[in-house]
Chains A and B, each alone.
Chain A
């Protein structure tokens, strides 16, 4: 099992640019979660999907953030336009109902 796969591992972009983060969950897991981690706020849930349907997006900071899950094996988190305060590590995790498995994360730096 390859685990949860995220890409890219690192992203450096200029303020105002669009950023797309990608995630491939573990096959058979029906829940997918996007988290953001910063030193100040720790791990924050942004949005989660169950069976490809968004269930709770109350953690999405503002309209600049959007997430999609077009099928069971792929999800994206998009930030448009990006701002320096979006700099963080973004984790994707998947679950079959018990524990979570996290991807290695995308370290985003917006300059």
Chain B
């Protein structure tokens, strides 16, 4: 079973729409959670961390449900520039362990 699972999409939404991505993880020892963004033929870049209480950064809202091992990302008022692949990422606890495990990503296309 893959450790981090995401709907691959693609999600095709009109400008101004609200879109939500979901992610589940299998290892209950997961400690930290992130959303990364990857543009076509570019490297992944950190979009935002995900905190237990939920957090917001402008049009982006991230939620974490530890009991269900579920993470979400909500994008409001979608812009054309939001078109990218969104990667759900978890970090497991462990001595000296800083490695991140990535989902395969959800592709978003925002259409004019």
**A interface residues, Cβ below 8 angstroms from B:** 31, 33, 35, 41-43, 45, 48, 50, 55-56, 91, 95, 97, 99-100, 102-105
Tell whether A97 pairs with B98 under 8 Å between CB atoms, given A42-B103, A42-B105, A43-B87.
Answer: yes
In this assembly, does B76 line the interface, its C-beta being within 8 Å of a C-beta of chain A? no
Chain B residues with CB under 8 Å of chain A are 34, 42-46, 49, 87, 96-105
* Contact indicator A102/B98 (Cβ below 8 Å): no
Instruction: Take A42-B102, A42-B103, A45-B101 as given contacts and tell me if A99 and B46 are in contact as well, using a CB distance cutoff of 8 Å.
Output: yes
A43 with B44: CB separation less than 8 A:
yes
Cα–Cα, bound, A99→B46 (Å) = 7
Question: A42 vs B98: C-alpha distance in the bound complex, in angstroms?
Answer: 19
Q: Which 6 interchain pairs have the tightest Cβ spacing?
A: A42-B104, A102-B43, A43-B102, A99-B46, A31-B98, A102-B44
Q: Is the CB of B100 within 8 A of A100?
A: yes
Q: Name the residue on B nearest A6 (C-beta).
A: B43
Inter-chain contact A103/B43, CB cutoff 8 Å: yes
Q: Are A105 and B43 in contact (CB under 8 A)?
A: yes
16 A-B contacts (beta carbon < 8 Å): A33-B100, A41-B104, A42-B104, A43-B44, A43-B102, A45-B100, A55-B96, A91-B43, A91-B44, A99-B46, A99-B49, A100-B44, A100-B100, A102-B43, A102-B44, A104-B42
